[in-house]
Structure 1
Amino acid sequence: MPPPPGFKVLIVGAGVGGLMLAGLLERAQVDYEVFERAPAIKPLGSALSLGANVFYIFKQLGLLEQLHAKAKPFGQTRAHGENHDTVRVRDYSAANEFAGYLPHIIPRPQLYELLLSTIPPHKVHLQKRVLSLKHKEDGVSITCADKSTYEGSILVGADGAYSGVRQGLYRQLFEMELLPEADKDWEQLPFSSICLVGQTRVMDINDARFEKVLKETFSRFDIVVGDNRPYSWVTFTTRQNTLCWMVIQHLDKESSRAHDSFRNSEWGPESAQVMCEEVKDFPLPSYPGLTIGDLIKETDKELISKVMLEEKLFETWYGMRTVLLGDACHKVHPAAGLGAVSAIHDAVILANALHDLPSGEPCDITKAFQAYRDERYPIAKVSFDTSRKMGRILGKNLINVVIRFFINRMPVFIWNMVLIRMYGYRPQVNFLPLVPDRGSIKPAPQRSLKAVSNTVAV
């Protein structure tokens, strides 16, 4: 049953995790509001890889067909050298048997559009930059830059890697001497690579340069590892006939925004254009004669961004009436495609915990937050470690070269074990009818489903 009357959730951040949580709370009939600092929800980046690890959630919500209509499946990834030779082909077709679905590529704007369709527009407030938060015995309030104030029962920080909510919470916990040693350096988010990312405009499917690839049933997912330069680059096609691309620069040493060497002048639109010039001649093996520069020309400048690929797993996920979600508590390298997936999983388990709050009696918020963290942290740590390792595979140091040598010769049975681990965790919402699992491999246990008896198929 839903929480007691008057219970309200304030969600800061309209990213994938925040919007998924809002959509789930809407279905659970739990009151909420979403606050986003930007003047518009304008998803930068390129595309996301989603698979059976989240498809059952979308099926519960009745959105899976719409998701698949916007996404394009992929059955393999190809790794190349700059000289156009194929170094490795990774076959994902077994995921269909093991977990019930092939993975799909979906552009960020298409996913945001789908998530926003589940939320009444009046519940999303734009241009609301949260400056401070205040805890009370029975609730929490936030104050925004426009001096507006909002009150709720709990606050969810889903506002990204540099979460203002996390900073506010941690400062309060630090002053109360409740912040563990591991989180006292919360302003340092290490990164060992940076990324230039974008998505082309819709291409003419008869354009001879891209015709063959765009007409393929499956997304063409290519990875190129630079031969003598500290870069790797990735391209993939979408159902919308766009090409998503990203160029990763591998740094010599780990850095962070808290380091003295960090300069804000290295980021922003102008810096992205400088990096575009630096990488424009990088070849594209699947598109003979074309380079990254050709994709940059087909991409609107305002949709090109340069970002740090931070990596950090925080120990503290909640305190008092505030709880963190997604990148705010675990920022992973994108190499494994688990960032958005992990945020969606957070939203599901947190929604389950909130829905399980007793109705008609005082709510034990701490107990609900603890249940959420206990269920998600071990899995988030595996995702963090996996993403970190896969990110290092693309690096340019000798150890990275050695790792790639063995990875390229990985036996099929070991790769199948990797797929099972990637797609084995397939959580569902406990307040909607469960859907039958189609995979031959049993889903990993989900603690928040133990008490659920609603096994009706939808």
Structure 2
Amino acid sequence: MPVPNSATLASFVCLGSAMSVGPSVFPAFQQIGIYEEFLGISKFLSHAGAYKESMEPYNPNDYRPMEEFGGYGMRIVTRPQLYNLMLKQIPAHKIHFGKRVLNVTEKDEKVTVHTSDNNTYEGDIVVGADGAYSAVRQRMYEKLKSKGTLPLSDYEELPFGCTCLIGQTKELDPEKFPIVNEPNCQFRAVWGEGKPYTWLLFSTAEKTLCWMVMHHLDRKANQEGIDQRFRNCDNSEWGSFPAQAMCDETSNFPIPLEEGKNHTLAELYELTPKDLISKVMFEEKVFKTWYSGRTVLLGDGAVTAIHDAIALANLFYAMPTRTSQDLTTIFDEYKQERYPAVLESFKDSEMVSKVAEKGIEGYILKFVITHIPLWLWKIGLSKKVRLRPQIGFLKAVEDKGTVVRAVSTSEQKARAVFEKQQQQLDQDHQLSIAVSI
């Protein structure tokens, strides 16, 4: 099954800050042969530190138990580095840039994608993999809405949780910035006092500092964000909104770079190339409609999207035929497997965002996070490593974690087909040897 990849952008744009990656995807990374290279572009995360604006530290969160529970430690990598690593695994001729999807049509057990440059691409399925603003998603939802079969919640406005300013400095001199020479990633967050902001910085394997400034929105600001999106026409790309105003608003926010020394975000802004600073509005929503006909959607967010892709690939591998009925069956199985995990992740994200809220709920959550006993913290970490899916049609890797991983029905199906085929290959090989003798 040939798999071309189409992207709206004319070229690959590497924007963004850093992200945490851990046991939930590393088994798959090992299977496809990128784990060792990933170690070289990332840093181990042992603790996540948080501070008051006075630079008084809260109790740090210890992530080292994840290595025992899930078989791998948590690591921090810059978004561009991870994307470039994954991009290298795809043959260049299978990626087409500058393609904007206008329509998706189905006929005679085939699906056709029509793009704005008057080209068409025919295949068995279409996967919308570019988030909430995916053109594939929009076209699919428009058709379902016209038929009256799209749930109301799926075409309601996306709620904006926060606006986020992100960037990555140039490579820094370790003598001036000793933090970049630390062997482990230095993750440091500051919770604003009396202001709806949280800001973070991460040291990277590139001797840079990635940073992120989050402005948590109330209901009024949320609506203003929706209005702004329409004024700017498109919020789906990184850097859609001017970042300079937010830089100016937050430049005097203190940051914990060195103990006993005063530093502010302004220093990081000055050290960051302007084309690597972007501002984006983060929307969080769990859609109910994941597929229709021969079109299926992946979730947003790095780990969620990877897990979705693994589940789909496993189901495609085990699929007996390519009929529309078989596709509907596996798309439904895909949603049944992934929806509970996506919903759980969404709820976790909602809880974290409430830490920055004013009032008693935000205060209680902040207190709990910074005073949680280690035994209870470990219970939480152990739950986060249960999802460690593997690619069922590749050689399995050893499961090293002490926490039993969750059962993946898609992986089991693919594994059964894969092992049956391997047995047949072994039998054929033995037969050929016997005939030769």
TM-score (norm 1): 0.85
1:280 maps to 2:251: yes
The residue type paired with residue 170 of structure 2 is R
**Which of residues 310, 317, 320 in structure 2 aligns to 1:358?**
320
Q: Deviations over 1:192-218 (max 9, x none)?
A: 311100011111223x2x12x111110
Match of 2:215 in 1: 249
CA 1:37 to 1:362, structure 2 compared with 1: closer, same or farther past 3 Å?
closer
Match of 1:220 in 2: 186
User: What's the offset of the Cα at 1:365?
Assistant: 0.9
**Which of residues 44, 63, 70 in structure 2 aligns to 1:99?**
70
Match of 2:30 in 1: 59
The residue type paired with residue 244 of structure 1 is C
The 5 A counterparts of 1:33-432 are 33-185=4-156, 188-206=157-175, 208=176, 210-211=177-178, 213-253=179-219, 255=222, 259-260=226-227, 264=231, 271-287=242-258, 288-327=261-300, 339-359=301-321, 364-432=326-394
Inter-partner Cα distance in structure 2 for 1:308 and 1:361: 39
Aligned identity (percent) is: 40
CA 1:37 to 1:219, structure 2 compared with 1: closer, same or farther past 3 Å?
same
Q: CA RMSD in A?
A: 2.1
Structure 2: which 5+ runs fail to align? 423-437
Contact 2:196 2:356 in 1 (8 A): no
User: What's the offset of the Cα at 1:118?
Assistant: 1.0
Inter-partner Cα distance in structure 1 for 2:154 and 2:333: 20
Inter-partner Cα distance in structure 2 for 1:270 and 1:440: 45
Contact 2:24 2:389 in 1 (8 A): yes
Match of 2:396 in 1: 434
TM-score (norm 2): 0.89
Q: Secondary structure at the match of 1:52?
A: coil
The residue type paired with residue 28 of structure 2 is I
User: What's the offset of the Cα at 1:345?
Assistant: 0.3
Which structure has the larger Rg?
Answer: 2
CA 1:346 to 1:245, structure 2 compared with 1: closer, same or farther past 3 Å?
same
Further displaced range: 119-128 or 258-267: 258-267
How many residue pairs match? The answer is: 411
Q: Deviations over 1:100-119 (max 9, x none)?
A: 11100111111111111111
Structure 1: which 5+ runs fail to align? 1-29, 328-338
Inter-partner Cα distance in structure 1 for 2:150 and 2:240: 36
Q: Secondary structure at the match of 1:49?
A: strand
Contact 2:109 2:323 in 1 (8 A): no
Contact 1:37 1:126 in 2 (8 A): yes
Query: Which segments of structure 1 move beyond 6 Å, counting only runs of 4 or more?
Result: 360-363
User: What's the offset of the Cα at 1:406?
Assistant: 2.3
Contact 2:196 2:357 in 1 (8 A): yes
Contact 1:84 1:285 in 2 (8 A): yes
Inter-partner Cα distance in structure 2 for 1:360 and 1:52: 33
Inter-partner Cα distance in structure 1 for 2:321 and 2:248: 59
Inter-partner Cα distance in structure 2 for 1:182 and 1:265: 24
Write 1 or 2 for the structure with the bigger share of helix.
2
